[in-house]
Amino acid sequence: MYHNPVLLKQSVDDLVTNPDGIYVDCTFGGGGHSREILSRLSDKGRLFSFDQDLDALKNTIDDPRFTLINQNFRFLENSLLMYGVSQIDGVLADLGVSSHQFDEAERGFSTRSNAPLDMRMNVMQGLDAKRVINDYDEEQLADIFYYYGELREARKLARDIVHHRKTKSIDTTEDLKKLFSYLPPHKVNKFYAQLFQAIRIEVNQELEVLKEMLVQAYNVLKPEGRLVVISYHSLEDRLVKRFLKNGMFEGEPERDIYGNYKKAFELVKSKAIIPDDKEIEENSRARSAKMRTGIKV
């Protein structure tokens, strides 16, 4: 099962303003958002959805207005050009890992199951979690844990891993978890969630891919086209928030003679939209979701 689409009505309400328009769902998954988008489109409308996970292809939608592209959304712009599309009316990206990927133990995403260290969203790529844990040097591992997992004890964690793998390869999620069995029980769940998140982000290059997608989304959006992004942790949300503000990820934008900087988007709402209590109760994975929507200036 793929997860229930998070903030379904709110996201598609913000996205679809032209029933005859061309839209992109960057993260098809189980197709929940895509089906809702199609329900808002006329016969003239079109929807292109992206997913690099081969399993997602089983959920394709039989609709002449719909095209499923088996690619990472970092190839958004060129993939659309292959279909003769250079401008679109809206882009939606739900950045969460699907319940399907977490629940398939052999994918190695979940902290609950003993599985090979994998964590690849695209099973055809070379880099997996096992290579990261066993081949990266201590400094690389420490940086990943600190920046992607926001773990203060990153250096010690990296040192423990490098020391252990000198005698025995770390091949499974349980092998990795056993290294930190000394942690007090009340800290275990949060720690493993942060650790696995950090490794997963590195394996899939999630933050770099997100940056590439956001820039390309801006390029292909028509003026007044809409970009809707649902993120699930602060690293993603900070990138999205900053890009929607001024079209940059770091540094300061140029200002005009009046001291005003050129905006990339107008925000639909100044603060992020979050799921209500009812949605969180029905879908626990919605609890950390934040949605931001920008209208291209």
Cβ atoms < 10 Å from Cβ of 15: 24
Residue 143 labeled ligand binder: no
Residue 100 labeled ligand binder: no
Main-chain phi, psi angles of 151, to 5 degrees: -100, 120
Cβ atoms < 10 Å from Cβ of 56: 23
Residue 101 labeled ligand binder: yes
Considering only CA atoms, which of 271, 264, 265 is closest in space to residue 291?
A: 271
Integer-rounded Cα radius of gyration of the chain: 20
> Going by C-beta distance under 8 Å and a sequence separation of 6 or more, which residues neighbour residue 292?
228, 229, 231, 237, 240, 241, 244, 267, 272, 273
Q: Taking a C-beta distance cutoff of 8 angstroms, is the pair 97, 286 a contact?
A: no
> Going by C-beta distance under 8 Å and a sequence separation of 6 or more, which residues neighbour residue 94?
5, 6, 11, 26, 27, 29, 33, 230
Residue 108 labeled ligand binder: no
Residue 32 labeled ligand binder: yes
Residue 20 labeled ligand binder: no
Residue 135 labeled ligand binder: no
In single-letter form, the type of residue at position 137 comes to D
Sheet with 265-267, strands from edge to edge, namely 66-69, 46-50, 22-25, 88-94, 221-231, 290-296, 265-267
* Calpha distance 75→94 (Å, rounded): 16
The DSSP code for 73 is G
Tokens representing residue 189 in the block: 């769940």
Q: Which residues are annotated as a binding site?
A: 31-33, 51, 73, 94, 101
List residues forming the annotated binding site for S-adenosyl-L-methionine.
31-33, 51, 73, 94, 101
